[in-house]
Structure 1
Amino acid sequence: MDIKSLTCCFSCLFSILIIAIMCNPTASSNSETKKKYIIFDTDMGSDDAWALQMILKAEKEQQNVKVLAITAVSGNTSPENVAKNSYRILDGVGRTDIPIYKGAIEAFIPSDLQSAQFYGVNGFSDVEFWKPSYPHDVNEIFQQKSAVEIIRELVMTNPHEISIISIGPLTNVALAIKAYPEIKENIKEIYIMGGNYQGKGNALRGSEYNFFKDPEAAYILLNSLNCPITILPIESPESVNITLEWRFNVLGKVDNENVQLLNKVEQIAFRNSERFEPFDALLVASFLFPECIRQQNRYNATIELQGIHTRGQMVFDRSSSDYNVNVVEMVHEDKFKEILLWAAKP
């Protein structure tokens, strides 16, 4: 083969490679980096379900992450319903082998103030989804160890290798820190959906739901962990405008068992909404694909514990350079949509 033919051949191969990358929204991801081992801490509403669907798709196709445990915490619903909802999503992708652990049933200091249950009593808009073949007793779904025990075990047997993704109230992780303080130095990183950075609230006037549900837990994490903490606050979804038309007529048309279930759940949950805001999926997209992040900043943050209207609010010392959190403030809308569609496809 002469030089001209060889050059032409290489040019064709390069063009094919570029086309393949452009057609795959995950091609620029961190798939060649060291595998990330995940504890998925959740209160499993439908946005949690999208987050779990996304991370399991990454586990299957990119093989750069591995979910070691799902830990259930009270938030959107009870730990028992969290287990059922998680099991249903796992079954939809053939992954019921992933163990589920029961966590906290209430906050450090339970509050008399209650937020509306956006996703109904069961976390899935009270849609009936349980199949006759599923376990009849929810205790058959839970492992013998508690969420706190498995967090300690996995972190200490895999020091500096465990990433915790926490998309509900932070009670499980805070309890683990208090019960086993040795884990504080051995967690690799934690990604949190919760809090606010502009004072916006959806529980109290100035408090986001996950942090409001257990402010003491959020305070413990922000004031005791030394590992990197990334927070996606309630204001971040405002950087994307995903219409309900796109949600149901584009994303909702994907032929996938889990998508069909979530269509039913979210047609109820978002019936009075103007747009689709899958908070927890935004966090996982930021975790899996950092290029999805459009703007982020580091802050020195703590949690307000006493305010009548602001209990659970994230408060910054903007004059301090002693940063303890990285806040994802904006994400790329088009990239996030691509990731959602990728995650939804079987």
Structure 2
Amino acid sequence: MDSIQDSTKRRDKTMLTMKRSHFLLVVVALLLVAHDSIAGAGEKVILDTDMVVLYDDGVAMMMLAKHPDIELLGVTIVPGNTWVSEGTAYALRQLEVLNRRDIPVVLGIRYPLRAGRYETMEVERKMFGFSSSYIGCFSRIEPASYFDVYRAEFGGRPEIKPADKHAVDYLIDTIKANPGEVTVMPIGPCTNLAIAIRMAPEIIPLIKRVVYMGGAFDTPGNTTPSAEFNWWFDPEAAKMCVRTPFADQLIVGLDVCEKYRFNKKIFDRITAVNKPIAKMFKNKYGPEFKKNPGYTRLVWDTIAAAVVIDPTLITEEKTRWVDVNSDYGLDYGRSLGYSKQGPAGTQKARILFTIDEQRFWNLMVDLLIK
């Protein structure tokens, strides 16, 4: 009888141990899944950007550079908001503030694909009737070099030098060195990526995903009634990219970006700490809030950075076949989305419409002040 009881006790103990082990395995698995959902647990990213100081490209870069689960492989510079020389100087300075001298800054293509676009911009504006619209760097003369811009804007000499390579070559080489691992983020015009996939189409299946900030599908454009600025700046490049069969394409356009605005409440949270970034925010946005406490601004590219860091921020997206109008006319640069099969050559893309706003602001602020 005692032997039977001992055997039963041993069996029960073994079963309890097995149940505990199984429970622990389940917990570990859930934790791993949760961790993987945040930035893919070590997401490798190339940020392709028409860089400005702080909002919005600058803050997007800071968020990516400061998140522990993001490996920012490089910052490639494209014209758009700024000329390449300007964007390079701004990227270098902000990486200096972050003390991230390890992140390469790489100069890219200087002009959009359409020949003579800059030189004929005034004629285009008169023809198509958007004379008062924002046209980015097209509104001013291109500076001679990033060094001149840095010295004029920040004084002295940059502590970091740009990489001794062209952005297109950097994209190609880095993607080939990390097959299936790199998220490419064109948060400005798509010129660098378009040239890279044209020069080396073999990289297309090697790209993990492409996350754009650009386009406007169910909402009007912001440079013309038809077109959002980034894709208007180089429609041929945007068309080439969205028609490429990448494994995954996510579009963060005006449909989501025009719903969320930086305001004084967020400004106060960022500037409450004694950090160099807080000083930058005070210098740039403090005068605006002093003149008008109700001042707000859109934060476009930071939303793209946030959903790369944490895809669970996405609360609504729609999948469509996507195209860009590259016919030189009133609809030049217009984003086109088809809920059913689109024209021949179009590819599916996910279009972002809403995010969890409170979690987005918390993520952004926490990263900036850490």
TM-score where L is the length of structure 2: 0.76
Q: Identify which of 289, 297, 302 aligns with 2:310.
A: 289
Structure 2: 5+ residue stretches without partners:
1-33, 126-132
**Residue 96 of structure 1: CA displacement?**
1.6
Partner of 1:187: 207
**Residue 186 of structure 1: CA displacement?**
1.1
**Alpha-carbon spacing, 1:72–1:222, altered in 2? closer, same or farther (3 Å):** same
Partner of 2:45: 38
Structure 1 residue 149 and structure 2 residue 154: aligned?
no
Identity %: 22
State whether residues 43 and 82 of structure 1, in contact with CA within 8 Å, keep that contact through their aligned partners in structure 2.
yes
Partner of 2:65: 56
- The one-character-per-residue Cα deviations of 1:148-183 (angstroms, maximum 9, x if unpaired) are 001110111211111111111000000101111111
Q: Secondary structure at the match of 2:258?
A: helix
Structure 1 residue 309 and structure 2 residue 330: aligned?
yes
Amino acid at match of 1:231: I
Structure 1 residue 222 and structure 2 residue 227: aligned?
no
Structure 1: 5+ residue stretches without partners:
1-26
**Residue 217 of structure 1: CA displacement?**
0.5
CA separation in 2, counterparts of 1:77 and 1:284?
19
CA separation in 2, counterparts of 1:149 and 1:220?
18
The more displaced of 284-293 and 247-256 is 247-256
Q: Identify which of 272, 281, 285 aligns with 1:253.
A: 272
Partner of 1:9: none
**Alpha-carbon spacing, 1:302–1:31, altered in 2? closer, same or farther (3 Å):** closer
**Alpha-carbon spacing, 1:266–1:229, altered in 2? closer, same or farther (3 Å):** farther
Structure 1 residue 75 and structure 2 residue 99: aligned?
no
CA separation in 1, counterparts of 2:285 and 2:255?
21
Q: Secondary structure at the match of 1:334?
A: helix
Amino acid at match of 1:68: L
Q: Identify which of 359, 364, 369 aligns with 1:335.
A: 359
**Residue 335 of structure 1: CA displacement?**
0.8
- How many aligned positions are there? 310
Larger CA Rg, structure 1 vs 2? 2
Matches within 5 A, 1:133-172: 134-135=158-159, 141-172=161-192
CA separation in 2, counterparts of 1:41 and 1:80?
14
Q: Identify which of 93, 98, 113 aligns with 1:88.
A: 93
CA separation in 2, counterparts of 1:179 and 1:149?
9
TM-score where L is the length of structure 1: 0.81
CA separation in 2, counterparts of 1:128 and 1:300?
45
**Alpha-carbon spacing, 1:127–1:196, altered in 2? closer, same or farther (3 Å):** farther
State whether residues 135 and 229 of structure 2, in contact with CA within 8 Å, keep that contact through their aligned partners in structure 1.
no
**Residue 308 of structure 1: CA displacement?**
3.0
